[in-house]
Amino acid sequence: MSAAHLDDSHLDEDCIFCKIIRGEIPCFKVFDNDDVLAFLDVNPIAEGHALVIPKHHDKDILESPAEWTGKVFAAAGKVARAVQKTLNPDGLNIVQANGPGAKQSVFHLHVHVVPRAMDDGLTMNWELVPGDMDALGKLADRIKANVE
């Protein structure tokens, strides 16, 4: 379903991102098509930090239909390539958080495109610690059984 066929029934009245989609709140757009909007985060953790959102309200990736998730990640790739070309950072993080435990603060599916610099002090990285291979194999089987 493309946004050309959407009306406000596919958006949430109180969601800040839905308000941005409807034009009620301004944003600094970096990409916009019928289905997806990307804009600079007004609370950036790095220069060029952008948010990519579907023009359809679902609170997170667990609720979002695969069609919309795919459109958002395809657009995140376009935005990441544009940020790379514009700012030439040392790297990029693509972050998508779901739920309070993952520090999701706006409950509308969104992807962060975050330019990174060596030793920038951001704490999204973690040390590599080998896992228990037997436990990993068993867990993989359990998760695989629940893939729909």
Phi, psi of 29 (to 5 degrees): -65, 140
Q: Among 34-43, 44-53, 121-130, 135-144, where is mean pLDDT lowest?
A: 121-130
pTM for the full predicted model: 0.86
User: What residues does each domain of the chain span?
Assistant: 3-144
Q: What is the torsional sign of CA 69, 105, 63, 12? A: negative
pLDDT digits (tens, 9 = 90+) for 15-47: 999 999 999 999 999 999 999 999 999 999 999
Whether residue 130 has pLDDT greater than 70: yes
List of E strands, the chain: 29-32, 36-40, 50-54, 91-95, 111-116
Give the 3-state secondary structure of residue 55: coil
As annotated, the active-site residues are 110
Phi, psi of 113 (to 5 degrees): -110, 110
In this structure, are residues 105 and 60 in contact, taking their beta carbons and an 8 Å threshold? no
What pLDDT band is residue 125 in, cutting at 50, 70 and 90?
A: low
Q: How far is CA 19 from the centre of its chain?
A: 17
Cα radius of gyration rounded to whole Å, the chain = 17
* pLDDT confidence of residue 140: 81
pLDDT digits (tens, 9 = 90+) for 61-81: 999 999 999 999 999 999 999
Can you name the CATH fold of 3-144?
HIT family, subunit A (3.30.428)
Q: Compare 48 and 128 and report the one with higher pLDDT.
A: 48
